[in-house]
Structure 1
Amino acid sequence: MYVCICHGITEKDIQKAARSGVNSISKLASETGATTGCGSCLEMAEDILQQHASQNTDFLQILTPSKPYFA
């Protein structure tokens, strides 16, 4: 589905950008051009980035010990 009609940016394009480390609208704009035209895609682009952030829990695996630690 197209998110940014002005620049032809799809939902998959934004998801791909998020997977490559884009985590803000300003970074998304500089990487893809999304949100830099009429701006009507801003809310949907934010939602897609937010969905990716909430699904990306890799950092929790680093913080979660495999066994309880007792000192």
Structure 2
Amino acid sequence: MYVCICMAVTDEEVRSCIAAGASTIEEVGEACEAGTGCGSCHDHIDVFLEAARQPSELADLPRSA
């Protein structure tokens, strides 16, 4: 799924940037350019950042069935 349409960045790319140490929207943008266009994806990126800071018990479940 695309998180950032302007820069064609997927959710997997955003997760990868966060796993590599990006902890702000700006740092994600520097790593993969997500959020550096119109900015409408900032809320989506923020959800991924918050999920990385506060993992739920669902985080251990497989992503696809």
**Category of TM-score, reference length = shorter chain:** 0.7 to 0.9
Larger-gyration structure (1/2): 1
Name the counterpart of 2:41.
Answer: 41
TM-score, normalised on structure 1? 0.73
Which residues of structure 1 form unaligned runs of 5+? Answer: 56-71
Q: CA RMSD in A?
A: 0.8
Cα deviation code 1:9-54 (max 9, x no counterpart):
1111111111111111111111111111011101000111110121
TM-score, normalised on structure 2? 0.79
Q: Percent identity?
A: 31
- Equivalent positions of 1:1-71 (< 5 A) are 1-55=1-55
Number of residue pairs aligned between Structure 1 and Structure 2: 55
Which residues of structure 2 form unaligned runs of 5+? Answer: 56-65
